Amino acid sequence: MYANQFEGSAAFSGGGFMPSQATQTADPFFSTSKNRDSQPLLPLTVKQISEAFQSSDDKSNFLIDGVDVNNVKLVGMVFNKTERVTDVFFVLDDGTGRIDCNRWVNEAVDTKEVEGISDGMYVRVHGHLKGFQGKRHLVAFSIRPLTDYNEIPYHFVECMYVHSYNTKLQKQQGGASTVNMTSSAVSTPSKGYQAAPPNQYVGNYGIDGLKGIDQVVMDYLQQPACLTREKGVHVTEISQQLNMPVDKITISIKALEEEGLVYSTIDEYHFKSTGNG
Amino acid sequence: MDTSSPAVFLNAKLLPMHVRRRVRAVIQVVRPSGGGVVGKSIDEKQLVVKGSPPLPLISHVEVIGIADSNQSIHVEIWTNFGDTFDMYNYNKLCLFANGEYKHLFI
């Protein structure tokens, strides 16, 4: 098996397209952000997408509320559905604006999915946001007709909630974006802040009166990656990640626990933030 | 992408602020009237919606069109929202979409 892999790479090593390079990104910070955990499905309105800041020439690199946007979910009405040879094109109108969408049709299941939608129908679309020469469009990977129209207010309420959550987080981080659903290392002049790479926890700013190590530990536990872990984070892990001694982390955790900001989970070594994930 | 003509979520109270603009509202059908439907808005006020409704009309109908007066909408698109639509939630959404979170919508 190893021999085959070796031969495969050797075959490509002569030049042209090399698979080993295809998975590498130019920016080392982005290589860590491209995993599935850091690409949440963000509920958005078309208006938000239209105002998204395109942080570089990269065709899929948008920032909304300080968060890298890759995959999005929209709810709206289908217009101008056009079936083409390999894909289906349509315009989605969510009441805040219209965005062009396309859905590649490769298999029978894709064909069935797009056959089920028609102009004037309300759908929920999950897709990947792309931009090219200033034009934004959505490459849909799921289109589902709404059967319960309560999904419409639900979607927009979710958009407001996520917007609130992310903007609040931005304010809390006081100009330094850590790893809020992303590890963006790009500058965003429109918002006037320079994002920091992952694992760079700046403890010189305080939220709610927290200082020093307490703040740094809190920031670590507040990352979406930590918030979503059911068992919480082990003290040793925090210690290793923050490069601080375990006893100092333990003291800090105790203080945060007394403040009601963290709680122990499966045992006395695993902790989670009480903040909403 | 085009955000030049959004359809604003609204209830009857918010309608006067959007006359001659594209709007969207959900009404509870009360009775058909000549050239449209008389309905109850989500904030319990009477709204007249003009146009040709799809038949049969179900309890809750979403209308998208142009607000042509303080109490009426000229409808372009009708969608039956069924009998189980939650008007209370939708009314709250309208208030947010015209208030604190307006910038996400229009």
DSSP character string of chain B: -B-SS--EE--TTTGGGGTTSEEEEEEEEEEEETTEEEEEETTS-EEEEES---SS--SEEEEEEEE-SSSEEEEEEEEEEES---HHHHHHHHHHHTTTTGGGT-
**Are the beta carbons of A160 and B1 separated by less than 8 Å?**
no
Chain A: closest CA distance from residue B52 (Å): 15
Could you report the predicted ipTM of this complex, rounded to two decimals? 0.95
From chain B, pick out residues whose CB is under 8 angstroms from the CB of A48: 104
Q: Residue holding tokens 């500058």?
A: A187
- Cβ–Cβ contact A135 with B under 8 A: yes
**β-strand partners of A66:** none
- Cβ–Cβ contact A166 with B under 8 A: no
CATH number of A28-166: 2.40.50.140
**Mutation target vs B (from A118, A147, A149; most B CBs, 10 A cutoff):** A149
**Are the beta carbons of A47 and B105 separated by less than 8 Å?**
yes
**Are the beta carbons of B1 and A96 separated by less than 8 Å?**
no
Give me the architecture of the A201-273 domain, per CATH. Answer: Orthogonal Bundle (1.10)
**What pLDDT was estimated at residue A29?**
41
DSSP character string of chain A: -HHHHHHHHHHHTTSS--HHHHT--SSHHHHHHTSGGG--EEE--HHHHHT-EE-SSSTT-EEETTEEE-EEEEEEEEEEEEE-SSEEEEEEE-SS-EEEEEEE--SHHHHHHHHT--TT-EEEEEEEEEEETTEEEEEEEEEEE-SSTTHHHHHHHHHHHHHHHHHHHHHHTTT----SS-----EETTTTEEPPPTT----SS-STT--HHHHHHHHHHTSHHHHT-TT-EEHHHHHHHHT--HHHHHHHHHHHHHTTSEEE-SSTTEEEESS--
- Cβ–Cβ contact B93 with A under 8 A: yes
Backbone torsions φ then ψ of A51, nearest 5 degrees: -100, 5
Domains (range + CATH), chain B: 8-98 (2.40.50.140)
> Cβ(A153)–Cβ(B89) under 8 Å?
yes
Greater confidence (A243 vs B12) lies with B12
Walk along chain A (277 residues) and give the pLDDT tens digit of each residue.
444 444 444 444 444 444 344 344 344 444 444 555 567 899 999 999 999 887 665 555 788 988 889 899 999 999 999 999 999 999 999 999 999 999 999 999 999 999 999 999 999 999 999 988 778 999 999 999 999 999 999 999 999 999 999 998 877 776 544 444 443 333 333 333 233 333 333 333 344 556 778 888 888 888 887 888 888 888 888 888 888 888 889 888 988 888 888 888 888 889 988 876 5
Distance CA A73, CA A69 (A): 11
pTM above 0.80, yes or no: no
Extents of the domains making up chain A: 28-166, 201-273
Please classify residue B34 by burial: count the beta carbons closer than 10 Å to its beta carbon, then call 0-12 exposed, 13-18 middle and 19+ buried.
Answer: exposed
Name which of A120, A135, A149 is nearest B1 (Cβ-Cβ).
A135
With a CB cutoff of 8 Å and minimum separation 6, the contacts of A97 are A45, A46, A47, A49, A50, B1, B2, B3, B6
- Cβ–Cβ contact B96 with A under 8 A: yes
How many other β-carbons are positioned within 10 Å of the β-carbon of residue A139? 15
End-to-end CA distance of chain B: 14
Render pLDDT for B33-91 as a digit per residue (tens, 0 to 9): 888 899 999 999 999 999 988 878 778 999 999 999 999 999 999 999 999 999 999 99
Distance CA A207, CA A161 (A): 21
Nearest CA in chain A to B90: A153
Structure tokens at A172: 């809390």
How many residue pairs bridge chain A and chain B with CB atoms within 8 Å of each other?
75
**Are the beta carbons of A149 and B1 separated by less than 8 Å?**
no
**Are the beta carbons of A96 and B79 separated by less than 8 Å?**
no
